[in-house]
Structure 1
């Protein structure tokens, strides 16, 4: 179901790999600790640990489970650090001691928390959209630099990101309207039949990108595990009527 053989458990750099998912991590950390400064400090503690110790033998199962446990530990470490700093200030008799830090809301950092799953799902989708956009740009560049002989042109995929975005943003509009919107945003005349063709290609490519992204967050990315994670994250709609490569 997924083409990529790269998984998080085989990453050469734990910290570098994890930074791909900084956005959902930061959203959850903000919920737990309450402030941006505190969240960024806690995340810095987590990343520093990964730089030093890697996955420390805990590279099993799903990446999102590993990360939520790491977020819990980092939030606690950040809180303990803040309490320690406040204690130092008190001992030095600073006139205006810092306000006592609020304890982290650890109950929000659960493996199967709906909130964490939603953040993680959004992160997978964002990465899939970026991958689709990069592919679209590559196709445009390829068409310019390596034109095909007349009558031997590969299927056009130089608008797949734009067409899919429009179709999802305006689901109740007609194909003609989508074509008009893409024409306005790209400056290239797009007929309804071309918009339809590129939309079909886009749905296949987007579903494949999601499958690839999910696979890279699993220890064992076999088809059953990938399908199970897609279902758990509520991403199954992207695969309706679409067949992706094995």
Structure 2
């Protein structure tokens, strides 16, 4: 997450789509930056290769390459496009080392930038990172339980008859009344949207508000911004 992540005592009820000033193309360490998204890349490699072991071998190749030469001439455009090219390249190299009977039936060249499976994995990964960042903010300022309130308000409860305050107490161990929930929830929604916007902006070469909006639409993430001032 960007170093522009707000301090624990900073409040927000609106979103700046280009707040982050740390696009991937300006990362000091290519390998260090890509490590943020290693879980997403690994999931795609497992899908392509059909084996966690083969996926891990590909990850070793990718990280070694990034440590050696960085992003190189491919340091442009979207990070997800760079990574899908890296996935195809490392998977192809790994498959070439395997006996034919051990090779996955998935066609490497069919794994393209806008493949729905890849977009779905990328979307999920960005959401997970935004949730983790919101949780970290709550750890810094537990008296403002934005993560706990928003997570319980937006995920399915195992006991539908519970009130939200009851669920938060049971699942998160936090005593909070409904009035306080109504205060925290709008701020939590806005903060989550801001953190998600930061994530998206950092994966673009030269992010503008319009480019971030387009990427959010492409990834199906616009719902997180419903009712929020941008």
Q: Which residue of 1 aligns with 2:168?
A: 182
Is 1:206 the counterpart of 2:192 in the alignment? Answer: yes
Q: 1:108 to 1:122 in 2, by over 3 A?
A: farther
Q: Report how far residue 173 of structure 1 moved.
A: 5.7
1:119 aligned partner:
121
Q: 2:92 maps to what in 1?
A: 76
Distance in structure 2 (CA, Å) of the matches to 1:212 and 1:188 = 28
Q: What does the per-residue CA deviation read over 1:21-58, in whole Å, with 9 as the maximum and x for residues that have no partner?
A: 11111111111111111111112111111111101121
- Specify whether residues 16 and 178 from structure 1 end up closer, same or farther in structure 2 by C-alpha distance, changes over 3 A only: same
Which residue does 1:229 correspond to in 2? 215
Give the alignment's TM-score, normalised by structure 2. 0.86
Counterpart CA distance in 2 for 1:135 and 1:201 is: 13
Shift of 1:19: 1.0
2:107 equivalent in structure 1:
105
Deviation of 1:100 (Å): 3.9
Could you tell me how far 1:107 is from its partner in structure 2? 4.0
Q: Is there any run of 5+ residues in structure 2 with no aligned partner, and where?
A: 1-16
TM-score normalized by structure 1?
0.81
Which residue number in structure 1 is paired with residue 201 of structure 2? 215
Residue matched to 1:149: none
Alpha-carbon offset, residue 186 of structure 1: 4.1
In the TM superposition, residue 197 of structure 1 has moved relative to its aligned partner by 1.1
Higher RCO (C-alpha under 8 Å, 6+ residues apart): 2
Query: 2:44, 2:163 → 1: CA distance?
Result: 38
Distance in structure 1 (CA, Å) of the matches to 2:51 and 2:175: 48
SS of the equivalent of 2:36 reads helix
Runs of 4+ in 1 over 3 A off after TM superposition: 170-174, 185-188
Change (3 A) 1:195 1:13: same
Instruction: Give 1:148-163 correspondences, 5 Å limit.
Output: 158-163=144-149
Consecutive unaligned residues in structure 1, runs of 5 or more:
84-98, 141-155
Q: Which residue of 1 aligns with 2:80?
A: 64
CA shift digits 1:56-86 (9 cap, x unpaired): 1211000000000011000011122335xxx
Query: How many residues were matched structurally?
Result: 212
* Structure with bigger gyration radius: 1
In the alignment, what sits opposite 2:8? none
